[in-house]
């Protein structure tokens, strides 16, 4: 169905617009689309009227390829258009008819009646009707837009709140990471300080020589914790030389017993008093810490700062190290004092060997390299009224002053028993009873050898002691391993037997303690074998000429290991040729 209008004025344009609206309404075009179509045509018609001429509007309702209906409108320019090549305006609107066209003539016809006012009124009412529908639809859309705008606003508020929470969580996480990093650094620094303090304490307490401790202190502290270290021991200033000048803070630390910090700025160190900078070293802060002991201050440790100032935690660690250093120095001094007493006692108990015609005697006593350097080993040689020579080597169990005192008592008791006579076995039997009564829980070993100038025999007896080693004149060596008695002092009644050996001029007897031959990894027998080999390696003239030198040469190969846990005692008895 096709309709055509010629438009040359306003009336024709109104008729054409009204016809388009009626045709669109009759064929079921929605009101919004009708309003949009009418508005677009109206705009174009105004342009056409402005340009002038007779324009032709063609409306065509036809079937589309997909089986639907469409309204096709074409507004063609006049044939004598002033703009050559001007293209027509056209549009196509698909629709679905909602009802069949009415049978009345007005509805059936696409023509518009000639009454212009009526046409305009009807067109205006139709346009108002469509506009109202459009406005209603627009109101619905505005309400929907407002709803979505509010929903979007709420969503934006939620997103903003979420972003704020995320920002706060991010800042909190950063703060937590920073706190964790600080805590990790503090823990690592604390671990480093504790490790240094433990290692330094082990170094200081390893030695019992206070001079060695004083030497190691600077090695531990310089350059990490101090640029310079000075140790002022009070009793070492009593020498003939004038003592060096001391910082005023060190003198105050000695008087008050409190740590002092000398610098041109406050140190802020816990438990430390602030003092003016030292005139001796004004450019560096000084930390003066008293070396306290159980009774009185021992001295003052003065540290020169490695930088501008000390870290407060490092200063606390240095105070603790100074406390431990003072205790270590005090312990070393006490040990040295007791060791000197013990060594003096030990030397007093080791008497000079007697001179015997036809015989040479040589003795060596070497204390253990660990501990008090004093033990229960002893040697002795003395003449009896009958002219015989008694030689003895013994070993009291344990170390220290107690063992030395018991050794002295046994030595004295043996000399007293020997005055009354008796064989070596009888003397050991009496010593066994004496020790059991004197100290029920203390034991000892001993070997006694008796030489008589008128007899070519050697009588000996042993109680739990390593066997004597006898070198014959021809260089052969025998171990006198006859069965010995049990240890002295054990809760057992025993009679210790004597053993006799023929000896000729040029023979050498070696009496010793187990410290000479016993090693933990191999026992005692290999050591006795080495002693026998070393004794057999001497020539006859060497033993006759200088037995003292022979004793030293005998010990050297047997004591190559300088660290010994036990005392060493050796007594050589050589019969001249």
- The CATH number of whichever domain residue 524 belongs to comes to 3.60.40.10
Residue 84 lies in a domain: yes
Query: What are the tokens at 275?
Result: 């003092």
Q: pLDDT confidence of 102, banded at 50, 70, 90?
A: very low
Is the pLDDT at 285 greater than 60? The verdict is yes
Tens-place pLDDT, residues 495-544: 999 999 989 999 999 999 988 888 777 778 888 999 999 999 988 788 88
CATH number, position 321? 3.30.450.40
CA 518 from chain center: how many Å? 42
Residue pointed to by tokens 């045709």 = 23
Distances (CA, A) of 81 to 17, 54, 57, 58, 85: 22, 9, 15, 18, 9
Residue 294 lies in a domain: yes
Instruction: Quote the pLDDT of residue 289.
Output: 93
Instruction: Quote the pLDDT of residue 294.
Output: 76
- Find out whether 508 and 470 touch, Cβ atoms under 8 Å: yes
Other C-beta atoms lying within 10 Å of the C-beta of residue 46: 12
Query: What are the tokens at 450?
Result: 């008796």
Sheet holding 389-399, edge to edge: 375-383, 389-399, 444-451, 457-463, 499-502
Is the pLDDT at 476 greater than 80? The verdict is yes
Mean pLDDT estimate for the chain: 83
Give me the torsion for CA of 446, 452, 455, 460, rounded to 10°: 0
End-of-domain residue from the set 344, 375, 406: 344
Tens-place pLDDT, residues 215-227: 999 999 988 888 8
Residues 390, 520, single domain; the answer is yes
Pairing verdict, β 273-275 and 260-262: parallel
Instruction: Quote the pLDDT of residue 241.
Output: 60
- Residue 339 DSSP code: H
Residues 321, 440, single domain; the answer is no
Q: pLDDT confidence of 81, banded at 50, 70, 90?
A: low
Pairing verdict, β 286-291 and 508-512: unpaired
**Alpha carbons 474 and 539: distance in angstroms, whole number:** 9
Over residues 30-59, mean pLDDT: 83
Residue 387 lies in a domain: yes
Q: pLDDT confidence of 377, banded at 50, 70, 90?
A: confident
**Distance in angstroms between the alpha carbons of the first and the last residue of the chain:** 165
**Alpha carbons 261 and 248: distance in angstroms, whole number:** 10
Give me the torsion for CA of 136, 142, 143, 144, rounded to 10°: 110
Handedness of CA 278, 280, 286, 292 (dihedral sign): negative
Q: Which is more confidently placed, 316 or 567?
A: 316
Instruction: Quote the pLDDT of residue 519.
Output: 79
Residue 175 lies in a domain: no
Distances (CA, A) of 467 to 95, 461, 471, 549: 134, 9, 13, 23
Query: What are the tokens at 454?
Result: 């008128």
Residues 311, 379, single domain; the answer is no
Distances (CA, A) of 158 to 124, 408, 479: 49, 98, 103
**Alpha carbons 260 and 250: distance in angstroms, whole number:** 7
Q: Which of 103-117, 149-163, 339-353 has the highest mean pLDDT?
A: 149-163
Residues 477, 371, single domain; the answer is yes
Residues 468, 506, single domain; the answer is yes
Instruction: Quote the pLDDT of residue 242.
Output: 64
Residue 19 lies in a domain: yes
Residue 162 lies in a domain: no
Residues 396, 301, single domain; the answer is no
Domain that holds residue 406: 350-575
Over residues 234-255, mean pLDDT: 77
End-of-domain residue from the set 308, 328, 344: 344
Instruction: Quote the pLDDT of residue 172.
Output: 92
Sheet holding 2-7, edge to edge: 2-7, 55-63, 69-76, 89-95
E-only strand ranges, 54-112: 55-63, 69-76, 89-95
Query: What are the tokens at 441?
Result: 């829980």
Residues 435, 323, single domain; the answer is no
Residues 374, 443, single domain; the answer is yes
- Find out whether 451 and 500 touch, Cβ atoms under 8 Å: no
- Looking at the structure of the chain, the number of domains it has is 3
**Alpha carbons 137 and 31: distance in angstroms, whole number:** 10
Q: pLDDT confidence of 121, banded at 50, 70, 90?
A: low
**Segment (H or E) for 162:** helix 116-206
Instruction: Quote the pLDDT of residue 14.
Output: 82
Over residues 298-323, mean pLDDT: 88
Residues 560, 488, single domain; the answer is yes
Instruction: Quote the pLDDT of residue 50.
Output: 83
Helices marked H in 233-370: 248-256, 312-349
Residues 336, 377, single domain; the answer is no
Q: pLDDT confidence of 105, banded at 50, 70, 90?
A: very low
Residues 258, 386, single domain; the answer is no
End-of-domain residue from the set 86, 112, 138: 112
Tens-place pLDDT, residues 173-217: 999 999 999 899 988 988 998 999 999 989 888 888 888 899 999
Is the pLDDT at 114 greater than 60? The verdict is no
Is the pLDDT at 562 greater than 70? The verdict is no
Residue 164 lies in a domain: no
Over residues 335-360, mean pLDDT: 79
**Alpha carbons 449 and 446: distance in angstroms, whole number:** 10
Residues 391, 293, single domain; the answer is no
Pairing verdict, β 69-76 and 55-63: antiparallel
Is the pLDDT at 109 greater than 60? The verdict is no
Tens-place pLDDT, residues 125-154: 566 566 767 777 788 888 888 898 888 988
481-487: long-range contacts at Cβ-Cβ below 8 A with a sequence spacing of 24 or more?
Answer: 484/447, 485/425, 485/428, 485/429, 485/432, 485/461, 487/443, 487/444, 487/445, 487/463
Other C-beta atoms lying within 10 Å of the C-beta of residue 478: 15
Instruction: Quote the pLDDT of residue 367.
Output: 75
Pairing verdict, β 260-262 and 389-399: unpaired
Give 422-451 as a 3 state SS string. CCHHHHHHHHHHHHHHHCCCCCEEEEEEEE
Is the pLDDT at 101 greater than 80? The verdict is no
Residue 235 lies in a domain: yes
Instruction: Quote the pLDDT of residue 380.
Output: 92
E-only strand ranges, 168-296: 228-233, 260-262, 273-275, 286-291
Over residues 281-303, mean pLDDT: 86
């Amino acid at each position: 169905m096709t309709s055509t209008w010629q438009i040359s004025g306003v009336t024709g344009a109104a008729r054409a617009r009204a016809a388009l609206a009626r045709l669109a309404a009759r064929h079921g075009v929605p009101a919004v689309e009708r309003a949009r179509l009418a508005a677009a045509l109206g705009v174009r018609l105004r342009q056409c009227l402005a340009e002038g001429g007779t324009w032709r509007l063609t409306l065509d309702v036809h079937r589309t390829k997909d089986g639907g209906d469409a309204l096709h409108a074409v507004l063609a320019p006049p044939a004598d258009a002033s703009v050559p090549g001007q293209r027509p305006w056209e549009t196509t609107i698909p629709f679905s008819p909602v009802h069949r066209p009415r049978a009345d003539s007005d509805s059936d016809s696409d023509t518009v009646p000639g009454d212009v006012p009526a046409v305009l009124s009807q067109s205006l009412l139709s346009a108002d009707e469509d506009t109202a529908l459009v406005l209603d639809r627009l109101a619905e859309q505005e309400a929907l837009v407002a709803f979505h705008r509010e929903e979007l606003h709420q969503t934006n508020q939620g997103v903003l709140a979420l972003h704020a929470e995320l920002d706060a969580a991010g800042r909190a996480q950063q703060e937590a990471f920073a706190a964790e990093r600080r805590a990790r650094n503090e823990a690592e620094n604390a671990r480093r300080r504790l490790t240094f303090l433990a290692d330094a304490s082990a170094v200081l307490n390893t030695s019992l020589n206070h001079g060695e401790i004083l030497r190691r202190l600077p090695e531990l502290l310089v350059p990490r914790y101090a640029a310079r270290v000075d140790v002022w021991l009070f009793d070492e200033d009593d020498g003939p030389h004038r003592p060096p000048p001391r910082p005023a803070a060190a003198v105050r630390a000695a008087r008050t017993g409190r740590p002092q910090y000398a610098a041109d700025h406050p140190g802020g160190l816990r438990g430390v008093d602030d003092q003016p900078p030292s005139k001796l070293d004004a450019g560096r802060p000084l930390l003066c810490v008293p070396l306290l002991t159980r009774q009185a201050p021992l001295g003052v440790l003065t540290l020169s700062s490695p930088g501008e100032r000390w870290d407060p935690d490092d200063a606390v660690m240095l105070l603790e190290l100074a406390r431990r250093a003072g205790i270590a120095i005090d312990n070393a001094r006490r040990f040295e004092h007791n060791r000197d007493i013990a060594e003096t006692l030990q030397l007093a108990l080791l008497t000079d060997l007697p001179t015997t015609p036809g015989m040479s005697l040589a003795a060596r006593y070497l204390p253990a390299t660990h501990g008090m350097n004093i033990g229960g080993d002893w040697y002795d040689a003395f003449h009896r009224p009958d002219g015989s020579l008694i030689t003895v080597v013994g070993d009291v169990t344990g170390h220290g002053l107690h063992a030395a005192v018991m050794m002295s008592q046994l030595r004295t008791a043996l000399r007293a028993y020997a005055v009354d006579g008796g064989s070596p076995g009888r003397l050991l039997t009496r010593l066994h009873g004496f020790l059991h009564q004197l100290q029920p829980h203390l034991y000892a070993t001993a070997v006694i050898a008796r030489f008589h100038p008128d007899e070519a025999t050697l009588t000996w007896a042993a109680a739990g002691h390593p066997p004597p080693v006898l070198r014959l004149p021809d260089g052969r060596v025998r171990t006198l391993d006859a069965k010995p008695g049990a240890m002295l002092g054990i809760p057992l009644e025993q009679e210790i037997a004597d053993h006799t050996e023929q000896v000729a001029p040029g023979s050498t007897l070696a009496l010793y303690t187990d410290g000479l031959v016993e090693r933990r990894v191999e026992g005692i027998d290999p050591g006795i074998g080495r002693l026998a080999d070393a004794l057999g390696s001497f020539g006859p003239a060497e033993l006759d000429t200088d037995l003292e030198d022979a004793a030293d040469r005998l010990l050297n190969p047997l004591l190559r290991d300088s660290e010994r846990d036990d005392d060493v005692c050796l007594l050589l008895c050589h019969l001249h040729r």
